[in-house]
Amino acid sequence: MIELDSIERVFQVGDEEVHALKHVTLTIDKGEYLSIMGPSGSGKSTLLNILGLLDRPTSGTYRLDGIDTTSMGDNEQADTRRHRIGFVFQSYHLVPRLTAAENVALPLMLSGMAPKERHVIVEQALDNVDLLDRAEHRPDQLSGGQRQRVAIARATIMQPTILLADEPTGNLDHISGESVIEVLEALNKQGIILIVVTHDMDIGERAARRIRMVDGSISKDVR
């Protein structure tokens, strides 16, 4: 589970201090499905980056599965990201010169797993997103929806506790977006915490818990 306690994030822009997050306190239980919505500059992305340990809060504490992450060193945070957190980005961020299977295998590769062991796990993951027949294709040979599904397979291959999706359907047409959301929701049903940041009201409304952010604070938290 996730426990945020009065998280603040202040950016220095020129001479000005920008308070991107103002005393955000939030608890997310195991297996929750959460959407974060709000206008541009409301701090949704900053919150997501802090949840994903890509960014550090200026003050406040963030406990992940009971462990304080704010006191972690750089390497420890990297290890935590590798094992507990999965990312899905709007622009997929697949490595263009690697095949779908290699992209999915990347986290396993980085953690030092042998190619033989990886093989079965990668096949299973590709099968889960219905792309087993595209395993040897490169990203430029895949459609947008397929690319995002490859990215989801990659994000979940380490069996993380949290899946963070930043506008996962932002670059997709309605039908592809729908199928991507279905895949994400299916993963949530298996117990993963799913956090979706989106502008799309339709997609945001699907979440069991809906958070609205305005000016760096949570203005609404509806279950």
Partner 1 sequence: MQATDFIRLTLGSVFSQHLRSFLTALGIAVGVAAVVLLTSIGEGVHRFVLAEFSQFGTNILAVTPGKNTTFGMSGAVINTVRPLTMEDAEALKRVADVEAVVSVVQGNAEVEFGKRSRRTMIIGAGHAVPAVWQMDVEIGRFLPDDDPRNARAFAVLGSKMADELFGSRSPLGEIVRIAGERFRVIGVMESKGTMLGFDLDDTLFIPAGRALEMFNREGVMEIDLLYRSTANVDQLEEQISRLMQARHGYEDFTIITQEEMLETLGSILDILTLAVGALGGISLLVGGVGILTIMSIAVNERTHEIGLLRALGTRRRQVLGLFLGEAVLLSATGGFAGLVIGAGGAALLGLAIPALPVHTPWYFVLLAELMAVAIGVIAGVAPARRAASLDPVEALRAE
Beta-bridge mates of residue 88: 165
Residue from 29, 30, 67, 83 that binds partner 1 (CB under 8 A)?
Answer: 83
Confirm if 129 and 149 have CB atoms less than 8 A apart: yes
* Smallest distance from partner 1 to CB 53, Å: 9
* Smallest distance from partner 1 to CB 21, Å: 13
Q: Which residue from 171, 222, 161, 176 is spatially nearest to 198, judged by alpha carbons?
A: 171
Sheet holding 2-13, edge to edge: 16-28, 2-13, 59-64, 67-68
Q: Which residue from 68, 41, 46, 72 is spatially nearest to 57, judged by alpha carbons?
A: 46
Q: Select the span of 109-117, 129-137, 178-186, 192-200 touching partner 1 (CB under 8 A).
A: 109-117
Residue from 81, 147, 149, 212 that binds partner 1 (CB under 8 A)?
Answer: 81
Q: What angle do CA 78, 83, 89 make, to 5 degrees?
A: 75
Q: Select the span of 36-44, 84-92, 128-136, 142-150 touching partner 1 (CB under 8 A).
A: 84-92
Q: By the criterion CB under 8 A, which residues form the site for partner 1?
A: 49, 52, 54-55, 74-75, 78-83, 85, 87, 89, 91, 93, 95-98, 106-107, 109-115, 154, 158
